[in-house]
C-alpha cells in the first residue's frame, strides 16, 4: 500500500514538474518572440507589457515588475487617480498617477505624481504624450527577465527551460526503464525459485 501511495505521489510530482517547465518554456518563447516582433515591449490581445525600472510607484507597482497597459483611445479622457503611461521629452516612458486634470484652451494636460514620490512631477503631461493607461495587472520581478529577453543573450533564456525539460524527460525515461528491468529481474528470480521448488 505504501509503495502504491509513493508511486502515485511521484507520478503527480513528475506531471507537475513537467507542466511547470513546459509553461516556463512557452512563456519565455512568447516574451522573446513578442519582443522581437513588436520591436520593443511584448504585446498580447491589444495590451502591451511594460517593464518598471524605478520604484516611483511602489508599493503598488514594484521595481522590476511587468505591467499591462492598454494603448489607444481618446487620451484626453483620463481623470484624477487614473494611472497613465506617458512619453517624456527624452523619449522615456513613465507610468504615474494623475493628480489633476488641467484644461488649457483646446488642450488637456495632466499633473502627475509617482505614488512613492514626495512631490508632483515638474512638468504637466500633454494628452497627446500619453501612450496608454495602466490596467491594474502587474507581475513582480518578471520585468528583469523581459529586459534580459530583449538583449542579444535573450535567446539563451529559451534554452534553459528547454534543456531542463529535455534533461527531466531523459531522467524520467531512465527511471521507467530501470523500473521495468527491476520488475523483469524480480519476475525471472521468482520463476527460478518456483522451478527449483518443483
Helix ranges, the chain (H): 2-38, 142-149, 154-197
Instruction: State whether residue 98 is helix, strand or coil.
Output: strand
Strand order in the sheet with 83-87: 43-44, 47-51, 66-71, 130-139, 83-87, 93-104, 107-113, 125-126
Tell me if 73 sits within 8 A of 63, measured CB to CB: no
- Residues β-bridged to residue 170: none
Residue of 54, 76, 187, 195 marked catalytic:
54
Q: How many Cβ atoms from other residues are within 10 Å of residue 152's Cβ?
A: 6
Catalytic residue list contains 54: yes
Radius of gyration of the chain (CA): 27
Say how far apart CA 119 and CA 170 lie, in whole Å: 57
Q: How many Cβ atoms from other residues are within 10 Å of residue 25's Cβ?
A: 19
The set of catalytic residues is 54
Amino acid at each position: 500500500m505504501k509503495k502504491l501511495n509513493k508511486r502515485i505521489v511521484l507520478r503527480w510530482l513528475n506531471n507537475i514538474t513537467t507542466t511547470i517547465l513546459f509553461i516556463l518554456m512557452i512563456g519565455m518563447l512568447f516574451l522573446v518572440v513578442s519582443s522581437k516582433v513588436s520591436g520593443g515591449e511584448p504585446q498580447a490581445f491589444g495590451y502591451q507589457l511594460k517593464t518598471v525600472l524605478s520604484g516611483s510607484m511602489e508599493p503598488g507597482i514594484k521595481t522590476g515588475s511587468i505591467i499591462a497597459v492598454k494603448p489607444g483611445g481618446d487620451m484626453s479622457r483620463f481623470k484624477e487617480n487614473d494611472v497613465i503611461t506617458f512619453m517624456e521629452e527624452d523619449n522615456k516612458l513613465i507610468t504615474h498617477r494623475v493628480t489633476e486634470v488641467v484644461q488649457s484652451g483646446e488642450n488637456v494636460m495632466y499633473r502627475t505624481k509617482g505614488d512613492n514620490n514626495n512631490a508632483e512631477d515638474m512638468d504637466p503631461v500633454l494628452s497627446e504624450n500619453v501612450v496608454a493607461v495602466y490596467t491594474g495587472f502587474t507581475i513582480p520581478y518578471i520585468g528583469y527577465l523581459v529586459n534580459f529577453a530583449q538583449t542579444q543573450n535573450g535567446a539563451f533564456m529559451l534554452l534553459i527551460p528547454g534543456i531542463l525539460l529535455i534533461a527531466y524527460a531523459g531522467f524520467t525515461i531512465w527511471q521507467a526503464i530501470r523500473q521495468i528491468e527491476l520488475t523483469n529481474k524480480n519476475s525471472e528470480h521468482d520463476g527460478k525459485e518456483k522451478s527449483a521448488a518443483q
